[in-house]
Each structure stands twice: as C-alpha cells, then as structure tokens.
Amino acid sequence: MAREAPIPALAGDGAAGEDAGWAGWLARSGGVWVHPGTWQEDGLGRDFGFDGHRVDRGRVEAGRRAAEELSRLLGKKPTPYYALLTSDIDGMGDLLSEREVSAERHREISARLQDFGAEQRRIIEKHGGVAVYTGGDDLFALLPADSALQAARECRDKVPPLAGHTPTASTAVLFAHQHRPLRPAVQEVQELLADAKRVDGGSRKKDGLAVGVATGSGRRVRTVRPWRGGAAVDALKVFASHHGGDRVLSPGLLADLQRDRAALEKLAASSLGGRVYAKEVDRLVRRHGGTSEEAEALVEMGRTESERGDSGDGRLVPVEAARVALFLRREAW
C-alpha cells in the first residue's frame, strides 16, 4: 500500500515506531482512511476500482464504521481539510534596490534570510507540516488544519531585522478539502497572498493576512485584514469555545448577519448610524449566546476587513469573516 500522510496527533507517540503493528501504521500512514467520509462506495470505486472488479459494499461499510469508532475513541472527528501556507516579506525588492545597500550589506541580508528560512522550516515541522520552500523572504508549506494559523503567526513573529529595520510579512492560508486538486489550490493561495499584499490600499506598509476556504464542492470564502500583531488570528476565534469551556457563540449568528446584511450596512454607512449599528450587532450576538466583547470584536472585524484587497471602509458587515471563523471552529479548532 502506498504510504499516506502521518496523523500529527499520533505521530509523536510511541505508537509511531516501525515495530508497533497496526498502531504504528495508523500513526505513520493512516492518511485519508481515518476519515469516515472516505468510505463511500462510489468514490472508492472511481478512485481504486478496475475493470472486472467491484468494490465490496460490506467492506466499505465496515471501514466507515471503523473510522467512526476511531473518531469516537479519540474524542475528535478527523478533518478532511489541510492547509496551504505562503508568506512573503514586504518590500524586499525596494530594500535590495536601494543604492546605499552595499555588497557587504547584501551578503549580511542574505545570511539573515538564510537563517530565517531555517527557522521557518523548524516552525513548520514543529506544527506537523512540510516546508516545500523556505527562501527566507518567501515561504510555501503544507500543514494540518488545526495548526496552520499558529504556524503562520510564529513565522511572521520571527521576521529578522534587515538593513536597520524589521520589515513586515504578508501571509495567506488556504484551507483546502482533501479531494480538491492540488494545482488549483496552489493557485488560489497565491491569489490570496496577492490580496494580503494589497491591504491598506497597496501602501508600502502591507502586513496583511488572507485566510480562505476551498470546499470539496468548489465553494470559496475568504477574509483579508491587517495582521495587527496576532489580533487577526485571535479575532477569527470568535466562534471557538471560550477559555476551553463549553460555551460557544451559536452559528445561527451567521444566518442573521446574512439576512440583515443590507440593513446593517445602511446603518453603518449613515452619519449617525455607527453607534446604532454597533448596538444592533451587540443585540444579535447576545441573542446567540455571546457577549458584548464578542460583539465589539465582530464590529472591528468588519471595520478592518479588506474587500478585494482594498482598505476596509468601516461599513462592511463581517459575513465573510464569520463564515471563515465558523469553518475554523468546525474543522480546525
């Protein structure tokens, strides 16, 4: 059997040893087989069938039940999504083209970028990912869905000083379904990075984060905003459990935001409507089990959202950001 991807949650345990039998195989090579959704008769027949051979329906059903039982025992359902991460230091072309940058300074910058590339690789591998390319000034990696944003944050925080100042880095993370072809997913994450680099209206500041989702059915959703330290990632945890507890903001809030979007945008756009808009968002959030702090976070997400890479205009109701946040709760956090 072809070797599949390891399962990060198990690969670090003693079960991953070569002589650990089935437990070792599961940790090293479980791949798509641990997902109940993989065990579909039509899909397996299409992907693995051959002339004169039919997929055994009983064995497919047994595989599905085993995968569901594994999920129950682990206490967590495996996600069929993985993440593509790409990042690029802002303004490198301008920095290296400056006349006062001597040959010696070029060598110094190259050495620092080489060290940074090695640090990026360590971060990616620590989070269970594979660094496809780490050039120092740019990065491309594949990661588990549950650790991709944290890895992106750590890589950004480690950007070294160059030529007397510490540059920013723009980042894109795409969560793609395992059945989605890799080539279009790579193209999509590059498009997201271009959007991240247009944050703040294309100013030299940049420092953007774009997070997108590409489902198995082809649906796409995205949110683009300034990094602002780690605030961009923290804001997307709005639907996650609170401090490890059981209380979560109801996903019904997303339906209400979609239903009332036009009215909310009119409120936010009026000269006196900003305060009324914030109060209405607060009412909706509380209706779905949230707090005033979460309502304020949603308003801020809308204010800083960059639509199509342009700077946020303070009027955008954060429907796309809420969609991404809800996806992260279901599939990553």
Residue with tokens 């198995």: 216
Cα–Cα distance measured from residue 49 to residue 34, given in angstroms and rounded to the nearest whole number: 20
Span 16-44, mean pLDDT? 66
Please determine, for residue 9, whether its predicted confidence score (pLDDT) is greater than 50. Answer: no
CB-CB contact of 91 with 167 (8 Å)? yes
- 3-state secondary structure at position 5: coil
Please determine, for residue 250, whether its predicted confidence score (pLDDT) is greater than 50. Answer: yes
Cα–Cα distance measured from residue 260 to residue 257, given in angstroms and rounded to the nearest whole number: 5
Please determine, for residue 29, whether its predicted confidence score (pLDDT) is greater than 60. Answer: no
Q: Which domains does the chain carry? A: 8-74 (no CATH), 81-228 (3.30.70.270), 252-331 (no CATH)
pLDDT tens string 263-279: 998 888 876 667 888 89
What pLDDT is stored for residue 106 in this prediction? 73
- List the strands of the sheet with 130-134, edge to edge: 130-134, 138-144, 81-89, 169-177, 208-214, 220-226
What pLDDT is stored for residue 96 in this prediction? 64
Higher pLDDT, 1 or 310: 310
pLDDT tens string 288-326: 988 898 898 888 888 888 754 444 444 478 899 999 999
Give the containing element (helix H, strand E) for 143.
strand 138-144
- Say which range, 164-168, 233-237, 311-315, has the weakest mean pLDDT: 311-315
* CA angle at 216 for the pair 210 and 217, rounded to the nearest 5°: 105
